[in-house]
Amino acid sequence: MADAKVIPFDDDRSRARRRPARTDDAASVRALPAQAQAPAQLSGDDPATGTEPEEDPGADPGERGGWERKLASGLAFLRRRVTGDYEVDEFGYDEDLTDQVLMSLLRPVYEKYFRVEVKGVENIPAKGGALVVANHSGTLPLDGLMMQVAVHDHHPADRHLRLLAADLVFMMPVVNELARKAGHTLACGEDAERLLRAGEIVGVMPEGFKGIGKPFAERYKLQRFGRGGFVSTALRAGVPIVPCSVVGAEEIYPMLGNARTLARLLGLPYFPLTPTFPWLGPMGALPLPTKWTIEFGEPIHTDGYPLEAAEDPMLMFNLTDQVREQIQHTLYKLLVQRRSVFF
């Protein structure tokens, strides 16, 4: 079996939404015999009898064609995985796997379970790097995954969101590999700056564990945004900061208590106690089907500042406070507009 090709991160192919042109051999991999023959068999003579097949009068032609395309796409994907005809960048991002598998698994949760409404996604630039800064909540970091689907499915320029994750994510088996393949990387300034300079959309939640593990009584009250490291990174890369507000995630696991002793024994930042977990066992880990809204705000541009501005603590404090206040104000606005937690 051939190995996947590892490409330098600054190669344009790693940032292209559409796959680059390939050689004749690679092109033949995509043109599967099953794909070429399937339409003829479905619309022409029956290969076994030589007669025209009878169509189901109740079948929807559009639905039938949709399944044909999905089957052909799935077969092409499997062929690429077997032959190694796919690419990963130096961070481990596998765009083919993300588009074909990971997004397909997350999309039903996004569309049917949380019924996410997206606003202002056009505020993310159509090209070049940008830093998306969002509030963090929900006991488990599902908000980051839903943000990733929102950008992937709704941005008019087909952008991808690369999240910065805590080191705990990369210490967990299976989760570590999936996070890397989905384009996420460790939350450190060096990696974030390299991604931004390469023209990527990077997402960060400055509240960290303080936000995701806060009690239910403090929902939608932003925690401290650290020391403004994300502002310094944006200034160095010269990219805009896009504030993002997420409503709905706070209620999926109402955290009523924290078993700190058990958390220390397990090496976790907290161990949540909710109305259903751990009392109902695995069933208690099912999130409540709340209605979500994700709004991307007006970008805050940083390219007008001099290079030495990244070392100015007062400027970093002011910009950090500006981003935090904009997210908090938008959260309050969305909460006032919300009809119900679940509808």
Quote the CA–CA distance of 226 and 244 in Å, as a whole number.
Answer: 17
Alpha helices (H) in the chain, listed in sequence order: 24-30, 33-43, 61-83, 95-97, 103-108, 142-154, 175-181, 189-197, 209-212, 229-237, 260-266, 313-337
According to DSSP, the residues that pair with 134 across neighbouring strands are 244
pLDDT in tens, 164-178: 999 999 999 999 999
Structure confidence at residue 296 as a pLDDT band (50, 70, 90): very high
Q: Check pLDDT > 70 for residue 155.
A: yes
pLDDT in tens, 302-318: 988 998 898 899 999 99
Average pLDDT over residues 23-33: 35
Q: What is the pLDDT of residue 29?
A: 34
Q: Check pLDDT > 50 for residue 9.
A: no
Lowest-confidence pick of 75-89, 91-105, 130-144? 75-89
Quote the CA–CA distance of 44 and 38 in Å, as a whole number.
Answer: 10
Q: What angle (nearest 5°) sits at the alpha carbon of residue 42, between those of residues 41 and 44?
A: 60
Q: Check pLDDT > 70 for residue 192.
A: yes
Which pair of tokens denotes residue 227? 């020391």
% of the chain exceeding 90 in pLDDT: 69
According to DSSP, the residues that pair with 245 across neighbouring strands are 295
Lowest-confidence pick of 10-24, 94-108, 138-152? 10-24
Residues in CB range of 220: below 8 A, 6 or more apart? 135, 137, 247, 250, 331, 332, 335
Q: Check pLDDT > 60 for residue 47.
A: no
Structure confidence at residue 72 as a pLDDT band (50, 70, 90): confident
